[in-house]
Structure 1
Amino acid sequence: MTLVEEHHRVAPEVEAGVRREHAGATWFQLASATSRAHHELDDARRGHDDHALRCALDRHTVLEQLLAEATEQLHPPH
């Protein structure tokens, strides 16, 4: 993760949309969606399209958070 990605802020409406899109998804579905988003992010980086890169980064960021939340539900800290 780059410094830019680490401090990336997703617009609330974008986050809400991704969360709605994946509401009720299983851990495996979230992992699959996160993996696809990662590949889309890599493609956008190579394409040198700033708008596509921001959109892909937003999506990937929210999906990583959803996956982390789902993982924590499955394996709560002691």
Structure 2
Amino acid sequence: MTVTDVQLQVDPGLESQVRAEHEHASWFELASATAKAHHEYDEVRRQHDDAATARARGRLHVLELMLGAETARLHPHA
């Protein structure tokens, strides 16, 4: 396991919650949610709350994975 893998481990409950919230989202909805999560992560990170930062980073990571999967589904030969 790489350092990046360790840093991006997401609580399974949080991952399930994020995936359920965005289960039938379009690419545009996922892109919007990912952008919002990125801004929220930046905000929380400045507050120096490690637990909140980890949750925000996990949420962002799951949304990025979902957006990437949807992009690959829509453009399989890109």
Structure 1 residue 76 and structure 2 residue 76: aligned? Answer: yes
Q: Which residue of 1 aligns with 2:53?
A: 53
One-letter amino acid of the counterpart of residue 11, structure 1: D
Aligned-pair CA distance for 1:77: 3.3
SS of corresponding position for 1:10: coil
Give the TM-score taking structure 2 as reference length: 0.88
SS of corresponding position for 1:47: coil
Give the TM-score taking structure 1 as reference length: 0.88
Q: Give the Cα separation in 2 of the matches to 1:52 and 1:13.
A: 15
Give the 5 Å matches for 1:1-16. 6-7=4-5, 8-16=8-16
Aligned length: 75
Kindly, what percent of the aligned residue pairs are identical? Answer: 49
The CA RMSD measured in Å over matched residues stands at 1.6
